A = this chain, B = another copy of it.
């Protein structure tokens, strides 16, 4: 049987409250008393029961992080940063996968109300604010990414500006026929829509016309799907002069396809990505991409979340994290 505060109190010859005071260190405790209690805790190998503490305090010290697909390198880097920053601030992180399933996204927002979670960092894909029942009290939520939602704070990289800048960078190398991989077709994810919009803005600034034939849709943003989509495209279209992939994962799939077909990068086609995952720098050739600090994303998200826990009523806030176009070999010397 595990020792409880009562056991510690009994052994130390004090009251449970005093033991609690020693642990939490807010109410002052005299030196000798503290010593007795600490010795008793050590002797009994006392470990506090977090369920009881959570019940009593109304806070569990746990936040949830929910991402659409945990298997991607991008998810790994975000997860790493969130867990690291959260740990520094004394939070534990519960991980959830939404599979870009709207039902799962809503379910999480309500499950968070089960009081095992004090807040939620959610990277939604489809979350539609109209579908969130008004009147239902939501837990503190911070959104990650492009999906906008009146009810929650948000941290993102300005996808429109970044995609425009990348398009401009590609144009600056003299390429005109710039294709995009992962673009929003009839309807796509918010990220696809915004990055496509940025691409369009970039084209306009370059004075290049928009051609539907340079828009390559891609269902999933994975290397597999990207490789299939690009292969199918190249079977019936000429090679574009540049290829802007909406994620690095897709770009890696694309590089593989191009290499297998003997299409030289960057000589025949320049390739760019988005996210600057760890492997981008070691792609063959090294991948030009939109880079941003994942740790900053994590710490801003956590800051918004904890502030929101303190003040549920304040106005919605949106934080844009800085990005940078990193030009590597894949877009030419």
Contact = CB atoms under 8 A, between A and B. Distances in A.
Interface in A198-231: 222-224, 227
Interface stretch (A15-23, A75-83, A148-156): A75-83
Contacts of A255: 282, 284
A126 to B, nearest CB: 19
A270 interface: no
Contact of A282 (B47, B65, B253, B282): B253
A113 interface: yes
Contact of A114 (B49, B81, B94, B111): B49
- Chain A interface size, under 10 / 10 to 19 / 20 to 34 / 35 or more: 35 or more
A73 interface: yes
A116 interface: yes
A193 B183 CA distance: 46
A115 B71 contact: no
Interface string A24-64: 00000000000000000000010111111011000010100
Interface of A: 2, 45, 47-52, 54-55, 60, 62, 65, 69-73, 75-77, 79-81, 83-84, 87, 92-97, 110-111, 113-116, 136-137, 222-224, 227, 249, 252-253, 255-256, 259, 278-279, 281-286
Given A71-B79, A73-B279, 20 more contacts: A47-B113, A47-B115, A51-B55, A51-B116, A52-B55, A54-B116, A62-B94, A65-B95, A69-B80, A70-B79, A75-B80, A76-B76, A79-B95, A80-B97, A222-B278, A224-B281, A249-B279, A252-B282, A256-B282, A256-B284
